[in-house]
Structure 1
Amino acid sequence: MKKRWMISTMVAALMLTAGTGVYAGAKLQEVKAYLNSSIQLKYNGTPVQPRDEKGNAVLPLTYNGTTYLPVRAVADIVGVAVSYNPETSTVELGEKAEGVAIAKGFENMYYTKDPKETTYQGKDYKEAYFDNASGKRSSNFMLYPKGKYQKLVLQVAAVGEDIDNFAIEDSEKNVKLTTEKVAVSDGLKTIEVDITGVNELYIYADVLNNGAMFVPLTTSYYK
């Protein structure tokens, strides 16, 4: 609740840091503002330094008696995903109203569009990750949310044999976000994890000799 309050009260006075290409055709008004190094920020009582996407320190701006803070830097500090939609000139904070399917840009040797492999329990998901190789093995793939989203909603099914160890990991920080058991009897299991600020995800499972792992890519999504 505290995060939501902070963001909602700041939005009116925040500026999005973006490349010059973002501003093509935008309605801009030139003003005279000042970088204000005297302003210090604290979050939950702890001093913090706003930084841009490259890790460089950024300063607040003061204009006409009002101080403006860089929205991306503040969102990173309070743990809220932020992105910019150039088509609608919209800054998007927190969860997106509509999910973005992980199918976009997905690459893996077990990626398939074959209806024989994308169909699970009578429904064709059109695109899927389906590892039906032989032998006891680690089944894995990468996802690249690039810090743009708040949550990952992933669907997964165990086929033939239960999957005792299914995990989602922040690959940059080498931190497990969740570890699950996926049973055949679960059907298509939905797993939701917080991915705020996460750039790369490593998804892996221990699959038994007679088992397979099915992940529908069109109904698994970022928010």
Structure 2
Amino acid sequence: MKKRTFVIILSTAMLASMATGAFAATKLQQIKAYLNPEIKVQVDGTFKTMRDGKGNELASINYNGLNYFPIAAIAGALDTAVDYNKETKVISLGEKVDGVSIAKGFSDMYFTKDSKLTTYKGHDYKEGWFNNGPGNREASFMLKPSKKYQTLYLKVATIDGDISNFTVKDADKDVILKQVATITPEEGLATIEVDIGGADSLYIFGDVKDKTAVFVPLTASYYK
């Protein structure tokens, strides 16, 4: 019996030592915090239940007078994608892109953050270009890659009609870099890949008819 007790104690000590060693190998610091179930979260006026990855309800953690929730829970409440890279130890919020999002610095009268307009097929892209102007028209906007990138990956969707002669032009050289004859609603979110090496400004346009809208999710379109 004494031998068995000794083995259990030794095993426990080894586990504690291993745990201590694991923490010592990181920059984690031990703190004293409290759970605060009284804290509630509202998003755009609507109460949201904070949950973990398994769907369990979470309480806020209070530390030094501040309340905290896991980033994944906050992202879920905001309907925002979240990802963690174990190798780089980087947490990413929002759309995952392989390059630089065109949302940065984008300016146009049809720029919007209205979730009713930035949501396409059930997914809210948060920032978008949504051209729903009246009448038959040329739907157009400008981009400024400033000669920093080689390729543009542009996501485009049309709603209630086609867009024809969709064109990406080097605005300074007046040279067409890419032209797509027709993009239809049935294609869903189409990806237009364009070689933009050396381009400072881009003029992007296409022809649409009355009651047709064009959507470009800025957070999912990017330079590379």
Same fold (TM over 0.5): yes
Deviations 1:61-100 (A, max 9, x none): xxxxxxxxxxxxxxxxxxxxxxxxxxxxxxxxxxxx9400
Q: How does 1:190-205 map to 2 (within 5 A)?
A: 190-205=191-206
Task: With the length of structure 1 as denominator, give the TM-score of the two structures.
Answer: 0.56
In the alignment, does 2:189 pair up with 1:188? yes
Distance in 2 between the 1:200 and 1:178 partners?
A: 14
Distance in 2 between the 1:221 and 1:167 partners?
A: 17
Distance in 2 between the 1:129 and 1:98 partners?
A: 20
Q: Which residue of 2 aligns with 1:56?
A: none
Tell me the CA shift for residue 110 of structure 1. 0.1
Distance in 2 between the 1:197 and 1:134 partners?
A: 35
Q: Which residue of 2 aligns with 1:216?
A: 217
| SS of residue in 2 equivalent to 1:145 | coil
Residue type of the alignment partner of 1:101: S
- The percentage of aligned residue pairs carrying the same residue is 54
Pairwise CA RMSD of aligned residues? 1.1
Distance in 1 between the 2:203 and 2:139 partners?
A: 11
Q: Which residue of 2 aligns with 1:151?
A: 151
Distance in 1 between the 2:110 and 2:98 partners?
A: 27
Distance in 1 between the 2:205 and 2:159 partners?
A: 15
Residue type of the alignment partner of 1:106: F
Distance in 1 between the 2:196 and 2:170 partners?
A: 8
Deviations 1:144-199 (A, max 9, x none): 00110010000000110011221100000101111112111110000001111110
Task: With the length of structure 2 as denominator, give the TM-score of the two structures.
Answer: 0.56
| SS of residue in 2 equivalent to 1:218 | helix
Runs of 4+ in 1 over 6 A off after TM superposition: none
Residue type of the alignment partner of 1:205: G
Distance in 2 between the 1:110 and 1:120 partners?
A: 16
Unpaired stretches in structure 2, ≥5 consecutive residues:
1-96
Q: Which residue of 1 aligns with 2:83?
A: none
Q: Which residue of 1 aligns with 2:36?
A: none
Residue type of the alignment partner of 1:190: T
Residue type of the alignment partner of 1:187: G
Q: How does 1:1-80 map to 2 (within 5 A)?
A: none
Q: Which residue of 2 aligns with 1:141?
A: 141
Distance in 1 between the 2:133 and 2:141 partners?
A: 14
Q: Which residue of 2 aligns with 1:206?
A: 207
Tell me the CA shift for residue 133 of structure 1. 1.4
Distance in 1 between the 2:125 and 2:205 partners?
A: 21
Distance in 2 between the 1:163 and 1:178 partners?
A: 15
| SS of residue in 2 equivalent to 1:199 | coil
Aligned residues between the structures: 127
Q: Which residue of 2 aligns with 1:167?
A: 167
Distance in 2 between the 1:151 and 1:165 partners?
A: 20
Q: Which residue of 1 aligns with 2:30?
A: none
Residue type of the alignment partner of 1:193: V
